[in-house]
Amino acid sequence: MLLRQLFRSVVASVLFFVLLGLAYPAIETGIGQAFFSHQANGSLGPNGSTLIGQTFTGPRWFQGRPEPSGNNPLASGGSNLGPRSKVLAADVRHEVAVLQKEGITPRNALVTSSGSGLDPDITPADAYAEAPAVARANHLPLAAVRHLVARHVTGRELGFLGSPYVNVLQLNEALAHLKGSTGA
């Protein structure tokens, strides 16, 4: 009796390994590579992945959120600092000071770190808050920079899913283009 259950357990383990552990992900990989190859390979562009945050140091660039690992994709995860942590308060105070020195009035999301440690986005409000400093540092008209931000705001999917955001890498690529075309 016990032996029969042992036999079945071993056969089931092998079967499930082949069906669920190899065939299922392999079929999905085939579908992904055939129909969604850009996404399935990591949404890669010439300057990296638009889904993986990178460190841009301001104010010549739009900057993303401060991440504890410095946006290292091999060390994803948040700060894990608690809501009454002295360390968190000190970190945030430091970020506020850095941004204020650059002439940016930081909002909440721009001085806190994300859950992934790789947040590729900032809020539209934060992008607009950075715009004057970016315009000044690059000798660009503020209106042109604000226009750039406006063009890069992604709204909620279907009008209610998620929160509006601006992708930092795409915004900076557009900024580089703008700098190039105005000779700044």
Site residues (CB under 8 A) for another protein, limited to 53-112: 54-57, 61, 65, 71-86, 88-93, 96, 106-109, 111-112
Question: What amino acid occupies position 60?
Answer: R
Structure tokens at 51: 């889904």
Collapsing DSSP to helix, strand or coil, 165 comes out as strand
User: Residue 38, Cβ neighbours under 10 Å: how many?
Assistant: 10
Q: What are phi and psi of 122, to 5 degrees?
A: -130, 165
Collapsing DSSP to helix, strand or coil, 67 comes out as coil
Identify the residue among 31, 142, 143, 150 touching another protein (CB under 8 A).
31
Structure tokens at 48: 């990296």
Gyration radius (Cα) of the chain, Å: 23
Q: How far is the CB of 180 from another protein (least distance, A)?
A: 11
H-type alpha helices, 17-123: 24-35, 37-40, 86-101, 108-111
Identity of the residue, 61 or 145, whose beta carbon is nearer to another protein in the bound complex = 61
Site string for another protein, 7-26 (x = CB under 8 A): xxxxxxx-xxx--xxx-xx-
Q: Which of residues 126-155 bind another protein (CB under 8 A)?
A: none
Element (H, E) at 120: none
Identify the residue among 59, 102, 104, 119 touching another protein (CB under 8 A).
119
Identify the residue among 59, 102, 104, 113 touching another protein (CB under 8 A).
113
Identity of the residue, 59 or 117, whose beta carbon is nearer to another protein in the bound complex = 117
* Residue 27 binds to another protein (criterion: CB under 8 A): yes
Q: How far is the CB of 16 from another protein (least distance, A)?
A: 5
Site string for another protein, 32-51 (x = CB under 8 A): xx-xx--xxxxxx-xxxx-x
* Residue 183 binds to another protein (criterion: CB under 8 A): no
d(CA 138, CA 177): 12
Burial class (CB in 10 A: 0-12, 13-18, 19+), 40: middle
Identify the residue among 102, 120, 135, 138 touching another protein (CB under 8 A).
120
Q: How far is the CB of 146 from another protein (least distance, A)?
A: 19
